[in-house]
Every structure is written in C-alpha cells, then in structure tokens.
Chains A and B, each alone.
Chain A
Amino acid sequence: MSSFAVTILGQDRPGIIAEATGALADLGGNLEDTSMTLLRGHFVMTLVVSTDATEQSLRAILDEKFGDKDLDVVVMELHGAASAPSTGQSYVLSVHGADRVGIVASITEVLARGGANITDLTTRLGGSLYLLVAEIDIPASTSVAELEAQIKQVAEDLGVGASLRPAESDDL
C-alpha cells in the first residue's frame, strides 16, 4: 500500500470531484485528506490517496478522464515523513490591508525566523483589499510577545494591519 498526492487544477465545472474520486475508487484507492478550493475561480484540489495501484495506473486513469479537457493532473508518491506533531501552541494570524507586492513573503519570513510553522493558509484578493489568514504553531521556545511585535513591525512597514490570537478550543 502506498500513499500518493493527486493534484488537479484548471477550469472549474460541476463534476470534477465526482469523476476524479470515482476513478480513484475504481482503483481501490482510499481517500485520506483532501483540500479543494477555487483560486480566482480556478479549480484546485490536492488529495492524499492510499492504494495498491501504481503511480502509472493512477496517472493513466486520471489522464484518460481529464487529459483532453481543461484540467491538469499531477500524481506524486509520498515518501517523506509527515510533519512531527506540534509541541507548541496554535495561533491564528490575520493580516489585511491595501494590496502590494511582498506581503505574504515578508510576513511568513518573520514566522520562519521565529520557528513558527504554518499549518493552514488562505490568502485572498478582494477588490483592492488583500487578506491573509494563517493557522500557525509557535514552539514553546519562541516568545509569542516578541514574535507578535516583529509581525506588527513588518505589517506597519507594509502599511497593513496584523492580529495574532490563540486558536484555543474548548472541550465540551
């Protein structure tokens, strides 16, 4: 049994997911995690599927379904280890302001320097407003107050606003 990442992207229409997952089910593929969204109206989906089928057969069946349509398919076997469980605390970072080049690069560079790991990220451009929302794990060894001050400083330099808050959940 191997795990594969399957990415499909291109022109959106109803039925892409049904066709793709149907083809994978025909090969005995078991879907694990999936992420799908529209990015500026374009269909983007990556899923992890475990199956006894080969990479070639996965690619062949998906190419047959989508090859001559407006969609691209990438199939990749997953070899590396999954990221280690976090030992830190989860936070949600929101950044928004007037769009300009380099917002994501500058903000995420600060996070990387602080050893903070991004576990989920959405950025959107709506009109002239640029928005970034990230779930991040901050290791216990990093000072949250210091990291927050650095984020705020970079955000100020970019002319955007930033807020960091704990993503705590309550057990009920």
Chain B
Amino acid sequence: MHMPDLPIGTVQVVLVTPHSVLSTRCVEVDPRDPLTVQLAADLIATQRVSPGCVGLAANQIGVGQRVFSLDVSKHPKARIHHGEFVVVNPEIVEATRNEKGREGCMSVPDFTGDVKRATRLTLKAQLPGTAEEIFIETDAFEARAIQHEVDHLDGFVFLDKVAGAHAIYPRQTYL
C-alpha cells in the first residue's frame, strides 16, 4: 500500500458517548475531495498525540464520513501490520476465525468489554487523495482494530458488540 502524502493535520477533540454522531452510520465520501484529504490528515494528527491510541474513526472527531486512521505497528499484539494509514469508504469483504478480546475506546472512557472479533480479514477501501482501490489482508491485532473502527463508522461502539451481560467492566484509569 502506498499512502499518498497528506497535508499537515490539526489535532481535534475526541468525542465521547453519548453523542449522536457516534451512534449514526457515517456516509461514503469522495476520496479526492480536498476536505476528505484534510480529514485524513486531522485523524493522523489526533491519533499521534493521543497516548495509546491505535486508531480513530472520523465520527470520533465529529465528522460523519467513512474514513478511519490506524497504526498498530508499535503494539505488542500486532503480527501483520500496514504501518500508519488512512482509508476511505472501507468495507470488510472477508472475516474469519473469531476470538474474544477485551477492548477499550477513547470514546467510551469508563468501561472496557469483551468482544469477539475475526482474527483474519480482508478490507477493501480507497486511499485519500488518489482514490486508489486497495485490499488489506491482515490478522491478529490489526484485524481487531480494523473491525473496531469499521464498527464506529457503522454507528456502533464496542458496547454494542459485547459478548454478554457480564462482559462489561468498569474502568478506573484511562491512559
């Protein structure tokens, strides 16, 4: 994958639930639109300054469009990874081998929860700026993170996907 150069991004405020933009499905956008390119840059800028943050969906910074950023390259649970990237109009085309894991989210600061996610997946998406169509095949932690971000774009947070009534835990500290 060849990430096009992005302009300098502006760090944005990360919204927390309850908020309507977090529970509304985001809309498809034109990857060539300069506003989309700026949004991609803002996501990267915000992700970089947020400790422990490995991914951000556009609606987490208040923009209801199908764009997310990701960078799991420094996470110990990552196996395959694609470095730091932003994708537009992502779509999971294949997902297999579910496994349970405990997730936290910047937009849900008071809880963590156990969520079953596929450990192998293929994502189809476009790159900001060039609109090049790409396929990302990945596994393990990057696969989990991608599913978490696509859920955001569909208007869901991990609370909507927890494994059961006793799979949500109060969180006492957030990094």
Contacts and interface: CB of A to CB of B under 8 A. Distances in A.
Interface of B: 52-55, 75, 77, 101-106, 112, 141, 144-145, 148-149, 158, 166, 169, 171-173, 175
Given A86-B172, A172-B148, A172-B158, 6 more contacts: A169-B104, A169-B112, A170-B103, A171-B54, A171-B106, A171-B175
A120 interface: yes
A81 to B, nearest CB: 15
A172 B102 contact: no
B77 A170 contact: yes
A172 B112 contact: no
A170 B142 CA distance: 12
Contact of A85 (B53, B141, B173): B173
Contacts of B77: 170
9 contacts: A90-B169, A168-B102, A169-B112, A169-B169, A170-B75, A170-B101, A170-B104, A172-B54, A172-B103
B172 A167 contact: no
Interface in A115-161: 120, 122, 135
Interface residues of A, number: 13
Chain B interface main SS type: mixed
A86 B112 CA distance: 15
Nearest to A35: B166
Nearest to A90: B169
Query: 6 closest Cβ contacts across the A-B interface?
Result: A169-B112, A169-B102, A172-B148, A85-B172, A171-B104, A169-B104
B149 A170 contact: no
A167 B55 contact: no
Given A86-B172, A120-B166, A172-B144, A167 B102 contact: yes
B156 to A, nearest CB: 13
A172 B112 CA distance: 11
A85 B52 CA distance: 21
Contacts of B173: 85
A172 B145 contact: yes
A86 B170 CA distance: 11
A172 B172 contact: no
A170 B104 CA distance: 6
B166 A172 contact: no
Contacts of B141: 170
B153 to A, nearest CB: 13
A69 B112 CA distance: 38
A54 B43 CA distance: 50
A21 to B, nearest CB: 16
Given A120-B166, A122-B166, A171 B172 contact: no
